[in-house]
Amino acid sequence: MTDAPATPTVDGRLHPTEIVVWWADSADWAADADSLLALLTEPEMDRHARLRRPADALTYACAHVLLRLLTARELGLDPGAVELVADPGGKPRIAGKRLPGVSLSHSGRLACAALCPTTDIGVDVETSPSRAGSDRLAERVLSPGEIEEWRSGGSAWQDLMVAWTVKEALLKASGLGIAAGMKALHVGAPSTATGHPLTVPEAMAPPEGWTYSRLFHIPGATAAVAAASPGPLMASCFRTRRAERGMP
């Protein structure tokens, strides 16, 4: 694990098939909260204000600012000049820039931002500790075949979280979001680091046009990235500890 921004670059640019993920424990950024908020747009500030738990609000701000910092670095812009907007379905994009692949995720204290210069991507992080009710969650997330596999494999919470994050990353990359139906997406038992989904919702076909990759570098979390690409994916994951990186 390395502190950003030591991203591998080609002549100062990312490799075309590379996905870079910056993640942070938002508690590390608490002292910089004012600088974080200064970079949010009005709609983001509204959303931030609606989050009741201060810790969730900080992680939200952190994820949105991380994505700005990462984009600013890649495009050679001032972070304040990066206009982060969302399409009507909620998929984030950078206004006025040809940068198809940006995504973000926040869970508990963990914030993640991801960028790929050439294709649509999704990132997802989950920190949920093991809890009762995993059967009900499995019914919502897994396809019938996956449920069978999951039960015969011991119904482990971690396996469910892996399937969940891989599916969310794929659905975010597609822009369809959860509405497309997690159960329509069959990824099997994605214990391997990287792979293709086996079945996808019609709007995402064909399955081999999508690749996911688990991220193993975020302690205490399950995380994955996905891309609209037959692969292979090159995913680099960096922790950002303080907001000094590229902050105005």
Ligand X SMILES: CC(C)(COP(=O)(O)OP(=O)(O)OC[C@H]1O[C@@H](n2cnc3c(N)ncnc32)[C@H](O)[C@@H]1OP(=O)(O)O)[C@@H](O)C(=O)NCCC(=O)NCCS
Contact residues: ligand X, CB under 6 A? 60, 63, 89-92, 104-106, 124, 168, 171-172, 175, 177-179
**What number of other Cβ atoms are within 10 A of residue 130's Cβ?**
10
15/47 with CB nearer ligand X: 47
Q: How far is the CB of 230 from ligand X (least distance, A)?
A: 20
80/90 with CB nearer ligand X: 90
Structure tokens at 42: 């009005």
**Which residue's Cβ has the minimum distance to ligand X?**
90
Non-local CB neighbours of 131 within 8 Å, separated by 6+ positions:
157
Q: How far is the CB of 163 from ligand X (least distance, A)?
A: 14
54/90 with CB nearer ligand X: 90
Q: How far is the CB of 11 from ligand X (least distance, A)?
A: 30
Q: How many CA atoms lie within 13 A of 184 on its CB side?
A: 14
60/150 with CB nearer ligand X: 60
Q: How far is the CB of 232 from ligand X (least distance, A)?
A: 22
For residue 129, whether the previous peptide bond is cis, meaning omega lies within 30 degrees of 0, is no
Structure tokens at 180: 């497309």
8/85 with CB nearer ligand X: 85
Q: What span, in angstroms and rounded, lies between the C-alpha atoms of 201 and 213?
A: 19
Structure tokens at 94: 């950078």
Q: How far is the CB of 56 from ligand X (least distance, A)?
A: 10
- The sign one gets for the Cα dihedral 144, 146, 150, 152 is positive
